[in-house]
Amino acid sequence: MTDRPPTSVLLPTTAWTDACGEVAAQLAPEDELLIVHDTAADPVADRETLPDGVELVRAGEPAGCSGKANAIAAGMRAASHDRIVWTDDDFTHPSGWLDQLLADYERQGPTTELPVFVGQDPLAVLLEPVYVLGGTLGTYLGDHAWGGAVVFDRSDLDVEAFLDELTRTISDDGHLGEHLDVSAVRRTHEVPIGGDTRTTLERHVRFTKIAASYDTAGIAVGSLLLVPLAAGTLLYPLFAALVTLTTLAVYAAFGVRRPSALLGVPALLCSPVLTVYAFARRTFVWGGRRYRWHDTLDVEIVDSDS
């Protein structure tokens, strides 16, 4: 391990996954890994033995925010150190991941890595180009924080003001970007998404509403352009070829080797319909809870989704 300040790593999860062990194995002696879960009913709460430096933090049921935002807020309050890393339980953390991310902070301050969302059902696979262009390229070009791999220091933001707002919103990393400037590095992690059509649709609704909440002008312009762009791929074969080549180039730039790189045109064609669907939906499901997001800091938990 390199010589660096002690670090608190926050990992929200309800079950012990491979990611928990991977991150635990990378802790320096003074680091801590806080596994933040919801309630005593979560499977991880029954785990009898934990690696050195690992603690369980019970966040409780959210009230007026998402479960993820509630977990991050609880973890931030329980963390012992000023250097903070957020991560998730659904992707592989290679050896040296934590040291590399912390070295990035020493070099350039608050830093985020990049997600590559990998579909686990046909619709999610079809949408992979949308998420590579928006979620991967968009995060990189816009220096947006991704909660799966972001590092910062308490001194970089007004923590209490941030936590107050975090417990009244949906998106943990989206709202972090309202309080913190980060720099993205071109390192990607494959994150599986979907599994069935309903799960994929709910995620797409959530992603669209998050984008609309934090970049209203951008999502409005992008949405208006979807129809003429989609029409262009049908009317002009050369434009369709350009869309495919652009998608292939973005995939290559981020080292993504997925056959979905060839699906740029089909993904674009279905995007207008899915965007209208996302804006028409009044609620969405995330992590077993149904939310109605009235405004950025006005969240209603409708019920637990059965």
- Where do the domains of the chain lie? 7-288
- pLDDT tens figures, 238-295: 999 999 999 999 999 999 999 999 999 999 999 999 999 999 999 999 999 999 999 9
What is the C-alpha separation between 23 and 20, in angstroms, rounded? 5
Distance CA 22, CA 93 (A): 6
Q: Tell me the pLDDT tens digit for each residue of 177-228.
A: 999 999 999 999 999 999 999 999 999 999 999 999 998 888 888 888 999 9
CATH domain 7-288 topology: Spore Coat Polysaccharide Biosynthesis Protein SpsA; Chain A (3.90.550)
Which residues have CB under 8 Å from 35's CB, separation 6+? 11, 13, 16, 20, 44, 50, 54, 55, 56, 57
- Measured between alpha carbons, how far is 226 from 211 in angstroms, rounded to an integer? 15
Average pLDDT of the chain is: 96
Q: Are 43 and 16 in contact (CB under 8 A)?
A: yes
What is the distance of C-alpha 223 from the center of its chain?
21
Q: 154 or 217: whose pLDDT is higher?
A: 154
State residue 3's pLDDT score: 80
The count of other CB atoms within 10 Å of the CB of residue 92 is 11
- Dihedral sign, Cα of residue 282, residue 286, residue 288, residue 291: negative
Q: If you average pLDDT over residues 161-180, what whole number do you get?
A: 97
- Rounded average pLDDT over 9-25: 98
Residue 89: in which H helix or E strand, if any? none
Residue 1 — very low, low, confident or very high, per pLDDT cuts 50/70/90? very low
- Tell me the percentage of the chain whose pLDDT exceeds 90: 94
Report yes or no: 255 and 171 within 8 Å, Cβ to Cβ: no
Mean pLDDT of 72-88: 98
* pLDDT given at position 2: 56
Strand residues in 105-226 grouped as ranges (E): 111-119, 149-153, 183-193
Say if CB 26 and CB 11 are below 8 A apart: no
